[in-house]
Amino acid sequence: MNQAQIAAGVDRRLALAGAPEPGSPIAQSWRRSIEVHRLDPGRPAPPRVLPAHHLRDYQAPLEPLLHIARSGMEKLFAQIRDAGYVVLLTDAHGVTVDFMNNPLLDRELRRAGLYLGSCWSEDEEGTCAVGLCTIDRLPVTVHHGEHFRAPNTSLTCSGAPIFAPGGELLAVLDASALFSPDDKRSQHLVLQMVSGTARMIENAHFLRQFEHCLVLRLSARREFLDVDVEGLLALNEEGVIVAANARAQLEFGGAARPLPGLRLEDLFGLRMEDLGRAMAAANGAPFALRTLQSARRYYAQPSQPSQPSRLVRSMPNAGKNALPVAQGLQGPLQKLAGGDAQMVVNANQALRVLDKGIPVMLHGETGTGKEVFAHAMHEASGRAAAPFVALNCAAIPESLIESELFGYRDGAFTGARAKGVRGKITQADGGTLFLDEIGDMPLNLQTRLLRVLAEREVLPLGAEKPVPVDLQVICATHRDLTELVSAGQFRQDLYYRLNGMVLKLPALRERSDKVALIHQLLREEAAAQQRASHGIAENALAVLLHYDWPGNIRQLKNTLRSALALSDDGLVELEHLPADVRCTVCNLMPPPRLATLGFNEDVVPAESAPPVDRVVVSEPTLPNAQAQALRLALKQHQWNIAQTARHLDLCRATVYRRMKRHGIVPPNLRD
């Protein structure tokens, strides 16, 4: 049968099922089921159901979500139970990790695949609500004959996606029934209920993940703010957007403008000081904001972080009516997160999975601090008093890595130590095992490691009895493990066992907190070298900020260590930087002014430095013509202060001062 015949057959079947036009998502799913997945629509077998011991591997990565989702599922099930529906929660691959059903129908539901552990991915079941939802990422109902496989054609299923704060698909919520009216329109209300519950679960999960931050709840309708939130924005103390929910990203950023990393003033023209005053004036009630680009009005309701922030404590009348602004992370991960949006997200997610037995995979370029991050996770966990054991799989010869990892008993091989050696796995018992460059582990050892993770016991070389172990596993790699799996160089089952939570550490050139990071590392190096004082000259800092840093934080630390050693008085000058760092940047551009880097022109960015000649750029008095030029630039950049400041080669503080001096008010703040 050729492709034209297949397409014609699909269209006829869909027409009989009452499906919409041939180009509809359901029709496209049918074609994928035949042409890509090569499924047989007449196959009589029911959907595959995973055994309990395999199901735990799929539930573990979603542990932070499951408790929150359960409350929403219970509410939804109570509303639709009497109509014969069950409620399923699947992971992003279509595996059912939780469900609620009527015990009286248990046997029929299990036979139909509406059961815990059932697999509803499109590549297994063809067109179905869960499978289609994981691909199109949109709410959908697949009704009766719209299902691809014949055993499923009596079902009606409505599914809706649940997204993680980063925008990736986290789970699918589904309501299905064994029997229902033939008319698909009867399912419209069920789909709306499922979609509303999925959005409620998604928002609750977002608020839980960013409970240490100020979260703005936004809605265009004040009276519905508590029940119909259109956007969630998590902010740090500097007003940088740390995360946004899917609706906020769609509403304020779209597909081409990621919100994390932007500032609040980029969206609403408000600094954190302005927001603090608005919160105090509102006295806990919602208050109005207008977007810069469209001047559309939204109402904002801040959520209360776990602890008050520096900004709130400094606000007048701060007390029970003053809602606190973003509170940074506490503990060992705080210093690593800094002010970078992606690192704050990483640290928050790491905190959520600590002590839950979920393996963590760290991705990042060489030198981004993967081992340091893993050690900080260990220190923040309940295993902090136990060992943190690290093994670099790429730094040990293949002939030795097995004994290093698993250990050996005395006499296990020629040249073995008389009393044997405890391997890294045994040494980490009760604590954390960090496996760096896991992608370089030989295939034969991957099999043994998989057994250790599955059985929680290790068999040293030459031993007859396995040794039980209890450990947290954190892996790291700069390689694409999915490509290694496809090439047969890394076991797929081990890959899924290790990547319970995946965190990507940003490269140094991508971090937005480089100034603070440079001062932090300089402080640490000065303490290590027992320097009484330290600082960095303006031109040297400008060069460090513009350098590409292929070696990332490791290269920056070495650069500052050597520069500080070459300095007589603790002040790092341009001449103290390595030639490759200094010359690469100087050949590209002259050292930029402070305003170009976004610094306040009245402050020299040096910390605990001895007195040096300050560079102060005086602010001229603007005549009317220059005031008009400022107003024109603001309009040209849609009243985005940050973009206007970059265009005029000024810092944001100077733009605000000049706007105030000349009475220039953004349209969204005018009466």
Given this model, what pLDDT does residue 325 score?
32
> Which CATH number is 575's domain given?
1.10.8.60
- In terms of DSSP bridges, do strands 407-408 and 231-235 run parallel, antiparallel, or are they unpaired? unpaired
Query: For the residues of 198-263, what is the DSSP string, one character each?
Result: HHHHHHHHHHHHTTTSEEEEEES-GGGTTT---EEEEE-TTSBEEEE-HHHIIIII-SS---TT-B
- When pLDDT is averaged across residues 516-543 and rounded to a whole number, the result is 86
**Is the residue at 53 inside a domain?**
yes
507: pLDDT confidence band, cut at 50, 70 and 90?
very high
Spatial separation of the C-alpha atoms in residues 634 and 646, rounded to whole Å: 11
Given this model, what pLDDT does residue 153 score?
93
Highest mean pLDDT among 148-152, 403-407, 523-527 belongs to 148-152
**Is the residue at 330 inside a domain?**
no
148, 296: one domain: no
Spatial separation of the C-alpha atoms in residues 328 and 488, rounded to whole Å: 43
* Token pair in block for residue 652: 């944001």
- When pLDDT is averaged across residues 532-561 and rounded to a whole number, the result is 88
Given this model, what pLDDT does residue 598 score?
34
255 pLDDT more than 80? no
Among the listed ranges 355-359, 521-525, 538-542, which one has the minimum average pLDDT value?
A: 538-542
- When pLDDT is averaged across residues 558-569 and rounded to a whole number, the result is 91
Q: How far is C-alpha 548 from the geometric centre of its chain's CA atoms?
A: 24
Given this model, what pLDDT does residue 624 score?
56
Q: Is the backbone of residue 601 left (phi > 0), alpha (psi -120 to 50) or beta?
A: alpha
585: pLDDT confidence band, cut at 50, 70 and 90?
low
Given this model, what pLDDT does residue 112 score?
93
356 pLDDT more than 70? yes
- Count of domains in the chain? 5
488, 361: one domain: yes
**Is the residue at 223 inside a domain?**
yes
| Cα distances (Å, whole numbers) of residue 597 to 19, 617, 651 | 57, 14, 8
Given this model, what pLDDT does residue 371 score?
93
Given this model, what pLDDT does residue 442 score?
87
28, 161: one domain: yes
436, 473: one domain: yes
Q: Which long-range contacts (CB under 8 A, 24 or more apart) does 561-568 make?
A: 561/525, 561/528, 561/529, 564/522, 564/525, 564/526, 564/529, 564/531, 564/534, 565/529
487, 522: one domain: no
Given this model, what pLDDT does residue 271 score?
87
Given this model, what pLDDT does residue 126 score?
95
> Which CATH number is 25's domain given?
3.30.450.40
Given this model, what pLDDT does residue 4 score?
57
**Is the residue at 530 inside a domain?**
yes
pLDDT (tens digit, 9 = 90+) per residue, 636-664?
778 888 778 777 766 676 777 778 778 88
315 pLDDT more than 50? no
178, 114: one domain: yes
Given this model, what pLDDT does residue 6 score?
54
50, 13: one domain: yes
Decide if 350 contacts 233 (C-beta within 8 A). no
71, 89: one domain: yes
Instruction: Tell me whether residue 244 is exposed, middle or buried, using C-beta atoms within 10 angstroms of its C-beta: 0 to 12, 13 to 18, 19 or more.
Output: buried
**Is the residue at 615 inside a domain?**
no
Q: Indicate the residue among 558, 580, 597 that finishes a domain.
A: 597
Among the listed ranges 367-381, 483-497, 571-585, 598-612, which one has the minimum average pLDDT value?
A: 598-612
pLDDT (tens digit, 9 = 90+) per residue, 97-156?
999 998 888 889 989 999 999 999 999 999 999 999 999 999 999 999 999 999 999 999
User: pLDDT exceeding 90 applies to what percent of the chain?
Assistant: 33
* Token pair in block for residue 281: 């004036």
Per DSSP, 34 falls in state: H
197, 110: one domain: yes
233 or 407, greater pLDDT: 233
- When pLDDT is averaged across residues 523-535 and rounded to a whole number, the result is 85
529, 584: one domain: yes
Taking alpha carbons only, the member of 556, 591, 563 closest to residue 577 is: 563
Q: Which H or E run contains 82?
A: none
303 pLDDT more than 50? yes
Decide if 162 contacts 203 (C-beta within 8 A). no
**Is the residue at 321 inside a domain?**
no
Query: For the residues of 475-503, what is the DSSP string, one character each?
Result: EEESS-HHHHHHTTSS-HHHHHHH-SEEE
Decide if 426 contacts 460 (C-beta within 8 A). yes
411, 554: one domain: no
192, 223: one domain: no
Given this model, what pLDDT does residue 370 score?
94
Given this model, what pLDDT does residue 621 score?
35
56 pLDDT more than 80? yes
18 or 28, greater pLDDT: 28
323: pLDDT confidence band, cut at 50, 70 and 90?
very low
pLDDT (tens digit, 9 = 90+) per residue, 597-615?
333 333 333 333 333 332 2
Q: Indicate the residue among 314, 349, 370 that finishes a domain.
A: 314
Q: Indicate the residue among 500, 525, 556 that finishes a domain.
A: 500
Decide if 217 contacts 200 (C-beta within 8 A). no
> Which CATH number is 277's domain given?
3.30.450
- When pLDDT is averaged across residues 12-29 and rounded to a whole number, the result is 69
485 or 592, greater pLDDT: 485
pTM of the model: 0.53
* Token pair in block for residue 478: 């700069």
175 lies in which domain range?
A: 3-204
Given this model, what pLDDT does residue 17 score?
52
Q: Which H or E run contains 658?
A: helix 652-661
> Hey, what amino acid is at 173?
L
Given this model, what pLDDT does residue 389 score?
92
pLDDT (tens digit, 9 = 90+) per residue, 264-278?
988 998 888 888 888
- When pLDDT is averaged across residues 519-532 and rounded to a whole number, the result is 87
**Is the residue at 324 inside a domain?**
no
Q: What integer best gives the mean pLDDT of the chain?
A: 81
Given this model, what pLDDT does residue 582 score?
80
**Is the residue at 613 inside a domain?**
no
251 pLDDT more than 80? yes
